[in-house]
Protein backbone atom coordinates (compact mmCIF):
# COMPACT_ATOMS: atom_id res chain seq x y z
CA UNK A 1 0.00 0.00 0.00
CA UNK A 2 1.31 3.46 -0.91
CA UNK A 3 2.26 6.02 1.70
CA UNK A 4 -0.65 8.44 1.50
CA UNK A 5 1.61 11.46 1.88
CA UNK A 6 3.38 10.52 -1.36
CA UNK A 7 0.05 10.67 -3.19
CA UNK A 8 -1.20 14.02 -1.89
CA UNK A 9 -0.99 17.08 -4.13
CA UNK A 10 0.88 20.21 -3.14
CA UNK A 11 -1.34 22.28 -0.78
CA UNK A 12 -1.04 25.19 -3.22
CA UNK A 13 -0.81 24.92 -7.02
CA UNK A 14 2.78 24.54 -8.18
CA UNK A 15 4.04 27.84 -9.60
CA UNK A 16 7.40 29.14 -10.82
CA UNK A 17 6.31 32.35 -12.52
CA UNK A 18 4.03 35.02 -11.11
CA UNK A 19 1.58 36.72 -13.49
CA UNK A 20 4.05 39.55 -14.20
CA UNK A 21 6.74 37.08 -15.26
CA UNK A 22 8.84 37.37 -12.11
CA UNK A 23 9.89 34.15 -10.39
CA UNK A 24 8.61 32.77 -7.11
CA UNK A 25 12.22 32.39 -5.91
CA UNK A 26 11.69 35.42 -3.66
CA UNK A 27 9.57 33.18 -1.41
CA UNK A 28 11.94 30.74 0.35
CA UNK A 29 9.02 28.60 1.49
CA UNK A 30 7.71 28.14 -2.04
CA UNK A 31 11.17 27.41 -3.43
CA UNK A 32 11.83 24.80 -0.74
CA UNK A 33 8.46 23.12 -1.38
CA UNK A 34 9.07 22.90 -5.12
CA UNK A 35 12.55 21.49 -4.63
CA UNK A 36 11.30 18.92 -2.12
CA UNK A 37 8.69 17.72 -4.63
CA UNK A 38 11.36 17.36 -7.31
CA UNK A 39 10.36 20.28 -9.50
CA UNK A 40 12.79 22.73 -11.12
CA UNK A 41 12.27 25.53 -13.60
CA UNK A 42 12.92 24.23 -17.15
CA UNK A 43 15.84 25.38 -19.28
CA UNK A 44 15.38 28.55 -21.34
CA UNK A 45 15.63 26.59 -24.59
CA UNK A 46 12.65 24.45 -23.56
CA UNK A 47 10.64 27.47 -22.42
CA UNK A 48 11.33 29.23 -25.72
CA UNK A 49 9.82 26.23 -27.50
CA UNK A 50 6.72 26.43 -25.27
CA UNK A 51 6.42 30.19 -25.86
CA UNK A 52 6.66 29.76 -29.65
CA UNK A 53 4.08 26.95 -29.54
CA UNK A 54 1.68 29.14 -27.58
CA UNK A 55 2.08 32.13 -29.94
CA UNK A 56 1.32 29.98 -32.99
CA UNK A 57 -1.36 28.01 -31.15
CA UNK A 58 -3.19 31.14 -30.04
CA UNK A 59 -3.17 32.60 -33.54
CA UNK A 60 -4.57 29.30 -34.82
CA UNK A 61 -7.25 29.43 -32.13
CA UNK A 62 -8.24 32.98 -33.09
CA UNK A 63 -8.42 31.98 -36.75
CA UNK A 64 -10.56 28.95 -36.00
CA UNK A 65 -12.97 31.11 -33.98
CA UNK A 66 -13.26 33.48 -36.96
CA UNK A 67 -14.01 30.54 -39.27
CA UNK A 68 -17.17 29.77 -37.27
CA UNK A 69 -18.45 33.28 -38.00
CA UNK A 70 -17.72 32.76 -41.69
CA UNK A 71 -19.69 29.50 -41.79
CA UNK A 72 -16.62 27.33 -42.38
CA UNK A 73 -16.84 25.54 -39.04
CA UNK A 74 -20.02 24.21 -37.45
CA UNK A 75 -18.66 24.83 -33.96
CA UNK A 76 -15.35 25.66 -32.30
CA UNK A 77 -14.60 25.40 -28.56
CA UNK A 78 -11.78 27.90 -28.02
CA UNK A 79 -8.90 27.15 -25.67
CA UNK A 80 -7.57 30.72 -25.50
CA UNK A 81 -6.31 31.28 -21.98
CA UNK A 82 -5.57 27.57 -21.56
CA UNK A 83 -2.60 27.84 -23.92
CA UNK A 84 0.00 26.57 -21.42
CA UNK A 85 -2.18 23.51 -20.70
CA UNK A 86 -2.44 22.81 -24.42
CA UNK A 87 1.19 23.27 -25.43
CA UNK A 88 3.54 22.31 -22.56
CA UNK A 89 2.10 18.79 -21.90
CA UNK A 90 2.20 17.90 -25.60
CA UNK A 91 5.75 19.15 -26.16
CA UNK A 92 6.85 16.98 -23.22
CA UNK A 93 5.43 13.80 -24.82
CA UNK A 94 7.71 11.36 -26.63
CA UNK A 95 7.16 9.81 -30.06
CA UNK A 96 6.03 6.53 -28.49
CA UNK A 97 3.38 8.20 -26.30
CA UNK A 98 -0.35 8.52 -26.99
CA UNK A 99 -2.63 11.55 -26.62
CA UNK A 100 -6.39 11.34 -25.89
CA UNK A 101 -7.87 14.82 -26.47
CA UNK A 102 -11.30 16.37 -25.95
CA UNK A 103 -13.23 18.62 -28.34
CA UNK A 104 -11.51 21.68 -26.78
CA UNK A 105 -7.98 20.52 -27.52
CA UNK A 106 -7.47 21.53 -31.16
CA UNK A 107 -4.49 23.71 -30.15
CA UNK A 108 -2.91 20.62 -28.62
CA UNK A 109 -3.41 18.72 -31.88
CA UNK A 110 -1.65 21.45 -33.83
CA UNK A 111 1.18 21.41 -31.27
CA UNK A 112 1.36 17.65 -31.82
CA UNK A 113 2.21 18.40 -35.47
CA UNK A 114 -1.15 17.36 -36.91
CA UNK A 115 -2.22 19.23 -40.06
CA UNK A 116 -4.55 22.02 -38.81
CA UNK A 117 -7.12 21.38 -41.54
CA UNK A 118 -7.21 17.71 -40.59
CA UNK A 119 -7.54 18.74 -36.94
CA UNK A 120 -10.60 20.86 -37.80
CA UNK A 121 -12.32 18.22 -39.94
CA UNK A 122 -14.51 16.99 -37.06
CA UNK A 123 -15.61 20.52 -36.15
CA UNK A 124 -16.38 21.31 -39.80
CA UNK A 125 -18.66 18.26 -39.83
CA UNK A 126 -16.93 16.50 -42.71
CA UNK A 127 -15.87 13.30 -41.00
CA UNK A 128 -15.46 11.73 -37.57
CA UNK A 129 -11.73 12.42 -37.50
CA UNK A 130 -9.59 14.08 -40.13
CA UNK A 131 -6.23 12.65 -39.15
CA UNK A 132 -4.78 9.15 -38.82
CA UNK A 133 -4.97 8.24 -35.10
CA UNK A 134 -2.44 5.41 -35.40
CA UNK A 135 0.15 7.34 -37.41
CA UNK A 136 -0.09 10.37 -35.11
CA UNK A 137 -0.62 8.36 -31.90
CA UNK A 138 -3.49 10.71 -31.18
CA UNK A 139 -7.01 9.43 -30.57
CA UNK A 140 -9.97 11.23 -32.18
CA UNK A 141 -11.22 14.27 -30.27
CA UNK A 142 -13.82 13.11 -27.77
CA UNK A 143 -17.06 15.02 -27.23
CA UNK A 144 -18.75 12.82 -24.56
CA UNK A 145 -17.31 13.79 -21.19
CA UNK A 146 -14.50 11.59 -19.87
CA UNK A 147 -15.22 8.51 -22.01
CA UNK A 148 -11.76 8.78 -23.57
CA UNK A 149 -10.14 8.26 -20.16
CA UNK A 150 -11.27 4.63 -20.25
CA UNK A 151 -9.70 4.29 -23.71
CA UNK A 152 -6.52 5.99 -22.48
CA UNK A 153 -6.29 3.64 -19.50
CA UNK A 154 -6.64 0.63 -21.79
CA UNK A 155 -4.02 1.97 -24.20
CA UNK A 156 -1.67 2.70 -21.32
CA UNK A 157 -2.06 -0.81 -19.95
CA UNK A 158 -1.45 -2.22 -23.43
CA UNK A 159 1.83 -0.30 -23.64
CA UNK A 160 2.77 -1.59 -20.18
CA UNK A 161 2.11 -5.19 -21.16
CA UNK A 162 4.11 -4.83 -24.38
CA UNK A 163 6.94 -3.00 -22.65
CA UNK A 164 7.01 -0.11 -25.12
CA UNK A 165 7.92 2.45 -22.47
CA UNK A 166 5.14 4.73 -23.65
CA UNK A 167 2.62 6.69 -21.61
CA UNK A 168 -0.94 7.80 -22.40
CA UNK A 169 -2.00 11.39 -21.71
CA UNK A 170 -5.72 12.00 -21.30
CA UNK A 171 -7.13 15.54 -21.31
CA UNK A 172 -10.40 16.27 -19.49
CA UNK A 173 -12.19 19.28 -18.07
CA UNK A 174 -13.33 19.90 -14.49
CA UNK A 175 -16.91 18.83 -15.22
CA UNK A 176 -15.71 15.48 -16.56
CA UNK A 177 -14.35 14.51 -13.13
CA UNK A 178 -17.98 14.08 -12.03
CA UNK A 179 -18.52 11.36 -14.64
CA UNK A 180 -18.35 7.61 -14.06
CA UNK A 181 -15.78 7.03 -16.80
CA UNK A 182 -13.30 9.20 -14.88
CA UNK A 183 -13.66 6.86 -11.89
CA UNK A 184 -13.44 3.68 -13.94
CA UNK A 185 -10.43 4.80 -15.95
CA UNK A 186 -8.41 5.95 -12.95
CA UNK A 187 -9.31 2.90 -10.86
CA UNK A 188 -8.34 0.50 -13.65
CA UNK A 189 -5.06 2.30 -14.30
CA UNK A 190 -4.19 2.33 -10.59
CA UNK A 191 -4.90 -1.38 -10.07
CA UNK A 192 -2.71 -2.37 -13.04
CA UNK A 193 -0.04 0.36 -12.63
CA UNK A 194 -0.83 1.53 -16.15
CA UNK A 195 1.31 4.47 -17.35
CA UNK A 196 -1.60 6.90 -17.60
CA UNK A 197 -1.44 10.64 -16.92
CA UNK A 198 -4.77 12.45 -16.65
CA UNK A 199 -4.62 16.25 -16.98
CA UNK A 200 -7.71 18.04 -15.66
CA UNK A 201 -7.94 21.50 -17.22
CA UNK A 202 -9.98 23.13 -14.49
CA UNK A 203 -11.26 26.25 -16.24
CA UNK A 204 -13.86 26.78 -13.49
CA UNK A 205 -16.98 26.03 -15.57
CA UNK A 206 -18.67 22.93 -16.97
CA UNK A 207 -20.22 24.93 -19.82
CA UNK A 208 -22.11 27.38 -17.54
CA UNK A 209 -22.08 25.41 -14.27
CA UNK A 210 -19.49 26.83 -11.85
CA UNK A 211 -17.15 24.39 -10.12
CA UNK A 212 -18.66 25.08 -6.69
CA UNK A 213 -22.00 23.64 -7.89
CA UNK A 214 -20.54 20.35 -9.10
CA UNK A 215 -17.90 19.37 -6.54
CA UNK A 216 -17.15 19.79 -2.83
CA UNK A 217 -13.55 18.57 -3.21
CA UNK A 218 -10.99 21.03 -1.80
CA UNK A 219 -9.22 20.61 -5.13
CA UNK A 220 -9.98 18.13 -7.91
CA UNK A 221 -6.46 16.72 -7.59
CA UNK A 222 -7.46 15.22 -4.22
CA UNK A 223 -9.80 12.85 -6.05
CA UNK A 224 -6.77 10.83 -7.15
CA UNK A 225 -5.81 9.86 -3.61
CA UNK A 226 -8.96 7.74 -3.26
CA UNK A 227 -7.75 5.54 -6.12
CA UNK A 228 -4.19 5.31 -4.79
CA UNK A 229 -3.01 7.58 -7.58
CA UNK A 230 -0.24 10.15 -7.19
CA UNK A 231 -1.81 13.57 -7.61
CA UNK A 232 -0.70 17.15 -8.17
CA UNK A 233 -2.17 20.59 -8.72
CA UNK A 234 -0.45 23.29 -10.75
CA UNK A 235 -0.97 26.85 -11.91
CA UNK A 236 -2.21 26.10 -15.42
CA UNK A 237 -1.37 29.61 -16.61
CA UNK A 238 2.30 29.21 -15.64
CA UNK A 239 3.97 27.51 -18.64
CA UNK A 240 7.15 26.77 -16.67
CA UNK A 241 5.24 24.99 -13.91
CA UNK A 242 3.13 23.09 -16.44
CA UNK A 243 6.21 21.78 -18.24
CA UNK A 244 7.98 20.78 -15.03
CA UNK A 245 4.96 19.04 -13.47
CA UNK A 246 4.03 17.16 -16.64
CA UNK A 247 7.58 15.95 -17.18
CA UNK A 248 7.62 14.64 -13.62
CA UNK A 249 4.25 12.92 -14.12
CA UNK A 250 5.41 11.21 -17.33
CA UNK A 251 8.64 10.05 -15.65
CA UNK A 252 6.66 8.58 -12.73
CA UNK A 253 4.28 6.70 -15.03
CA UNK A 254 7.00 5.61 -17.45
CA UNK A 255 9.05 4.17 -14.58
CA UNK A 256 6.24 1.75 -13.73
CA UNK A 257 4.94 3.55 -10.65
CA UNK A 258 1.40 3.84 -11.98
CA UNK A 259 -0.86 6.69 -13.11
CA UNK A 260 -0.76 10.35 -12.13
CA UNK A 261 -3.63 12.83 -11.83
CA UNK A 262 -2.73 16.48 -12.48
CA UNK A 263 -5.16 19.35 -11.96
CA UNK A 264 -4.25 22.56 -13.81
CA UNK A 265 -5.98 25.70 -12.53
CA UNK A 266 -6.74 27.81 -15.59
CA UNK A 267 -9.50 29.77 -17.33
CA UNK A 268 -11.02 29.85 -20.82
CA UNK A 269 -11.16 33.43 -21.98
CA UNK A 270 -13.80 32.82 -24.64
CA UNK A 271 -17.30 31.43 -24.28
CA UNK A 272 -17.81 27.65 -24.09
CA UNK A 273 -18.36 27.59 -27.88
CA UNK A 274 -19.58 30.02 -30.53
CA UNK A 275 -23.13 28.96 -29.53
CA UNK A 276 -22.69 30.17 -25.92
CA UNK A 277 -23.13 33.57 -24.23
CA UNK A 278 -20.68 33.59 -21.30
CA UNK A 279 -21.87 37.00 -20.05
CA UNK A 280 -24.95 35.23 -18.64
CA UNK A 281 -22.97 33.32 -16.05
CA UNK A 282 -19.69 35.13 -15.34
CA UNK A 283 -18.73 38.72 -14.59
CA UNK A 284 -16.45 41.07 -16.49
CA UNK A 285 -14.42 41.55 -13.28
CA UNK A 286 -13.70 37.82 -13.18
CA UNK A 287 -12.63 37.80 -16.82
CA UNK A 288 -10.43 40.87 -16.28
CA UNK A 289 -8.69 39.17 -13.35
CA UNK A 290 -7.77 36.17 -15.49
CA UNK A 291 -6.74 38.39 -18.39
CA UNK A 292 -3.99 39.65 -16.08
CA UNK A 293 -2.73 36.07 -15.71
CA UNK A 294 -2.23 35.45 -19.42
CA UNK A 295 0.24 32.55 -19.92
CA UNK A 296 1.74 33.91 -23.15
CA UNK A 297 2.40 37.35 -21.68
CA UNK A 298 3.74 35.81 -18.47
CA UNK A 299 6.34 33.58 -20.14
CA UNK A 300 7.32 36.24 -22.68
CA UNK A 301 8.00 38.73 -19.88
CA UNK A 302 10.18 36.18 -18.08
CA UNK A 303 12.20 35.32 -21.19
CA UNK A 304 12.69 38.98 -22.13
CA UNK A 305 13.86 39.82 -18.62
CA UNK A 306 16.36 36.95 -18.83
CA UNK A 307 17.70 38.21 -22.17
CA UNK A 308 16.57 35.00 -23.89
CA UNK A 309 14.06 36.80 -26.09
CA UNK A 310 14.17 40.12 -27.96
CA UNK A 311 11.86 42.14 -30.19
CA UNK A 312 13.37 40.76 -33.39
CA UNK A 313 12.63 37.17 -32.37
CA UNK A 314 9.16 38.11 -31.12
CA UNK A 315 8.34 39.70 -34.48
CA UNK A 316 9.77 36.71 -36.35
CA UNK A 317 7.51 34.26 -34.51
CA UNK A 318 4.51 36.57 -34.92
CA UNK A 319 5.08 36.49 -38.67
CA UNK A 320 5.30 32.69 -38.56
CA UNK A 321 2.00 32.61 -36.68
CA UNK A 322 0.34 34.91 -39.23
CA UNK A 323 1.58 32.74 -42.10
CA UNK A 324 0.27 29.64 -40.31
CA UNK A 325 -3.16 31.25 -39.86
CA UNK A 326 -3.25 32.45 -43.48
CA UNK A 327 -2.59 28.93 -44.71
CA UNK A 328 -5.39 27.56 -42.49
CA UNK A 329 -7.75 30.28 -43.72
CA UNK A 330 -7.02 29.65 -47.40
CA UNK A 331 -7.39 25.90 -47.19
CA UNK A 332 -10.51 26.02 -45.02
CA UNK A 333 -12.24 28.31 -47.55
CA UNK A 334 -11.82 25.66 -50.25
CA UNK A 335 -14.96 23.55 -50.66
CA UNK A 336 -14.39 20.05 -49.30
CA UNK A 337 -14.95 17.07 -51.57
CA UNK A 338 -17.56 14.80 -50.02
CA UNK A 339 -18.88 11.41 -51.10
CA UNK A 340 -22.49 10.72 -50.01
CA UNK A 341 -21.78 6.99 -50.20
CA UNK A 342 -19.32 7.42 -47.34
CA UNK A 343 -22.38 7.59 -45.06
CA UNK A 344 -22.52 3.81 -45.23
CA UNK A 345 -18.86 3.14 -44.47
CA UNK A 346 -17.55 2.05 -41.08
CA UNK A 347 -21.06 1.38 -39.70
CA UNK A 348 -20.77 -2.43 -39.63
CA UNK A 349 -17.94 -4.79 -40.52
CA UNK A 350 -20.53 -6.65 -42.63
CA UNK A 351 -23.31 -4.31 -43.81
CA UNK A 352 -26.82 -5.50 -42.99
CA UNK A 353 -29.27 -6.23 -45.83
CA UNK A 354 -31.19 -3.07 -44.87
CA UNK A 355 -28.03 -0.97 -45.04
CA UNK A 356 -27.08 -2.39 -48.45
CA UNK A 357 -30.60 -1.64 -49.69
CA UNK A 358 -30.38 1.95 -48.45
CA UNK A 359 -26.95 2.36 -50.02
CA UNK A 360 -28.23 1.17 -53.40
CA UNK A 361 -31.16 3.56 -53.16
CA UNK A 362 -28.81 6.52 -52.54
CA UNK A 363 -26.49 5.33 -55.33
CA UNK A 364 -29.44 5.25 -57.75
CA UNK A 365 -30.60 8.70 -56.71
CA UNK A 366 -27.10 10.11 -57.24
CA UNK A 367 -26.93 8.51 -60.67
CA UNK A 368 -30.37 9.89 -61.51
CA UNK A 369 -29.39 13.38 -60.42
CA UNK A 370 -26.24 13.23 -62.52
CA UNK A 371 -28.27 12.12 -65.55
CA UNK A 372 -30.78 14.94 -65.02
CA UNK A 373 -28.00 17.50 -64.72
CA UNK A 374 -26.18 16.20 -67.81
CA UNK A 375 -28.78 14.46 -70.06
CA UNK A 376 -27.46 12.36 -72.91
CA UNK A 377 -28.44 13.85 -76.35
CA UNK A 378 -31.20 11.92 -78.17
CA UNK A 379 -28.95 11.16 -81.16
CA UNK A 380 -26.31 9.72 -78.88
CA UNK A 381 -28.95 7.82 -76.94
CA UNK A 382 -30.22 6.26 -80.16
CA UNK A 383 -26.79 4.89 -81.04
CA UNK A 384 -26.47 2.99 -77.80
> Which tens digits make up the pLDDT trace of 70-129?
999 999 999 999 999 999 999 999 999 999 999 999 999 999 999 999 999 999 988 889
Q: Tell me the C-alpha distance between 51 and 43, whole Å.
A: 12
- Does the annotation count 37 as an active-site position? no
Looking at 58, 72, 268, 298, which residue is catalytic? 268
- Does the annotation count 15 as an active-site position? no
pLDDT in tens, 28-38: 788 888 989 99
Asked whether the predicted pLDDT for residue 245 surpasses 70, the reply is yes
What percentage of the chain exceeds 90 in pLDDT?
Answer: 84
The pLDDT of residue 382: 47
pLDDT in tens, 262-277: 999 999 999 999 888 9
Name every residue whose Cβ is closer than 8 Å to that of residue 273 and which is 6 or more positions away in sequence: 75, 76, 77, 78
The pLDDT of residue 335: 87
Looking at 281, 282, 313, 329, which residue is catalytic? 281
The pLDDT of residue 190: 98
Mean pLDDT taken over the chain: 94
Residue 227: name the closest of 194, 204, 255 by CA.
Answer: 194
pLDDT in tens, 275-317: 889 999 999 999 999 999 999 999 999 999 999 999 999 999 9
Q: Are strands 205-206 and 209-210 parallel, antiparallel or unpaired?
A: antiparallel
Q: Tell me the C-alpha distance between 30 and 109, whole Å.
A: 33
The pLDDT of residue 384: 46
Q: What is the mean pLDDT of residues 184-191?
A: 98
Query: What are φ and ψ of residue 93, in 5° steps?
Result: -75, 155
The pLDDT of residue 345: 85
Residue 15: name the closest of 25, 2, 3, 5 by CA.
Answer: 25
Q: Tell me the C-alpha distance between 366 and 352, whole Å.
A: 21
- Does the annotation count 250 as an active-site position? no
The pLDDT of residue 39: 96
Asked whether the predicted pLDDT for residue 1 surpasses 70, the reply is no
Are the CB atoms for 154 and 161 separated by under 8 Å?
Answer: no
Asked whether the predicted pLDDT for residue 59 surpasses 90, the reply is yes
Domain boundaries, the chain: 4-333, 340-373
Four-residue CA torsion sign, 45, 47, 51, 57: positive
Looking at 15, 247, 272, 298, which residue is catalytic? 272
The pLDDT of residue 380: 53
Q: Tell me the C-alpha distance between 154 and 217, whole Å.
A: 27
**What architecture is domain 4-333?**
3-Layer(aba) Sandwich (3.40)
Amino acid sequence: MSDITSLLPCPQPVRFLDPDGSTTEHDPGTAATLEARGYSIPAEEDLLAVWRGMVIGRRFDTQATALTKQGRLAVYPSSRGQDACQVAPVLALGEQDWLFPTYRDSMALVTRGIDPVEALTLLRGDWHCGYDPVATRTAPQCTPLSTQIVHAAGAADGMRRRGTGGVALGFIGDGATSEGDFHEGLNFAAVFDAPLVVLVQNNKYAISVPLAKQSKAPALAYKGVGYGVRSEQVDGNDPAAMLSVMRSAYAHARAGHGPVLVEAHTYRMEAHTNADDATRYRTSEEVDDWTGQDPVVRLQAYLVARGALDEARIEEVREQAEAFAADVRTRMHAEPKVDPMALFEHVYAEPTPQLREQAEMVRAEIAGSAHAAHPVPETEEATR
